[in-house]
Amino acid sequence: MLEARDRLAEAAACHRRALRILTHAPPHPDFRRLAVEARLSLAAVARIRGALAESDRLNRRALDDARRLHRRDPLVASALNNLGVLRKAQGRYAEAVAFYRRAAPLLPDDPETRATLEHNLGGIAHARGRFAQAEPHARRAVTLREAALGGTHLAVAADVAALAAVVEARGRLAEAAQLYRRAAAIFRRRLGSASLEAALADAGLAAVEQQRGRRTTARALYLRAIPALQRLLGRDHADVALTVNNLAVLERDAGDLRRAAALLRRARTSFGRSVGARHPHATLAAHNLKNVEMMLKGYRRTRR
């Protein structure tokens, strides 16, 4: 419940407390399963908060413990899937695909589980720039989840937002904007306007409006999303840095090179602290900053 309300530090504390209790519980299979579930939950919260090394450690321990229950236990699939999501966040895309493939044969054959797998496969294809490959996965995720849970479920909204990102990448901007707005409306109605998911949907919609040439609308969305993301995730989180990078590109295109450079320096520093300078997003921010600094030098020469 705390995690759903974006109170991530409190949620992590609850998971840790549960794990401590279960560690000292009698050696019964039910308690061992609960301990694995608690560790997986704690790992997921750590990933959301940007503590990627901690998430990796927890997921690997959970995977080892799940295998001791049974090598084909569903919790093994959960741990492998979580490691795939984590590798995507780290920019290690080939490893993410490998973990998803290892998880797939162990997953139960039900619509929600298949939807999650399709969501993840679409997400990693999108991250690797394989947009045509990503779209069928993203669409199947929405179709499967909506049939299982209804059109206004939070998980459906997450699938819709993921599809919006793929459609955006394929250049269908009006459709992408419509999908982001649908997802954002569900998030706001179910979680509140200050929620993490609503802020991420705002950031996605801002990028679409930016590409459509609607700078005023895009800027307003960025300036609403960035403080919300920073409040919930911290100043140096990768999602905050990516949104700051995108705002910087908008300011560059609007001609405010000094503001763009300042924002890009902030994004580059945050990426370095959160995911490392070699992450694809970090190299993108560094490339954008180099270009803006060159533009500034040229501007100064023409002013002399």
pLDDT in tens, 86-123: 999 999 999 999 999 999 999 888 899 999 999 999 99
CB-CB neighbours of 152 under 10 Å = 13
Backbone dihedral angles phi then psi of residue 67, each to the nearest 5 degrees:
-65, -30
Task: Please give the C-alpha separations between residue 35 and each of 29, 154, 202, in angstroms, as whole numbers.
Answer: 10, 26, 36
pLDDT at position 299 is 65
Per-residue pLDDT of the chain (304 residues; tens, 9 = 90+): 999 889 999 999 999 999 999 989 988 889 999 999 999 999 999 999 999 999 999 999 999 999 999 888 899 999 999 999 999 999 999 999 999 999 999 988 889 999 999 999 999 999 999 999 999 999 999 999 999 999 999 999 999 999 999 999 999 999 999 999 999 999 999 999 899 999 999 999 999 999 999 999 999 999 999 999 999 999 999 999 999 999 999 999 999 999 999 999 999 999 999 999 999 999 999 999 999 999 988 766 666 5
CA distances from 299 to 125, 247, 263, 293 (A): 39, 21, 18, 10
Q: How far apart are CA 148 and CA 144, in angstroms?
A: 6
Of 194, 115, 193, give the one whose Cα is nearest residue 160. Answer: 115
Cβ atoms 119, 141 nearer than 8 A = yes
Q: What is the predicted pLDDT for the residue at 300?
A: 63
Closest CA to 62 of 111, 22, 24: 22
18, 38 Cβ separation under 8 angstroms? yes
Q: Between helices 215-233 and 238-253, what is the axis angle to 10°?
A: 160
Q: Give per-residue pLDDT as tens, 255-293.
A: 999 999 999 999 999 999 999 999 999 999 999 999 999
Q: 1-103 has which CATH code?
A: 1.25.40.10
Domain extent listing, the chain? 1-103, 113-170, 215-229+237-304
Which residues neighbour 249 within 8 Å (Cβ) at sequence distance 6 or greater?
A: 210, 260, 288
Cα–Cα distance, 216 to 27 (Å, whole number)? 60
Q: What letter would DSSP give residue 255?
A: T
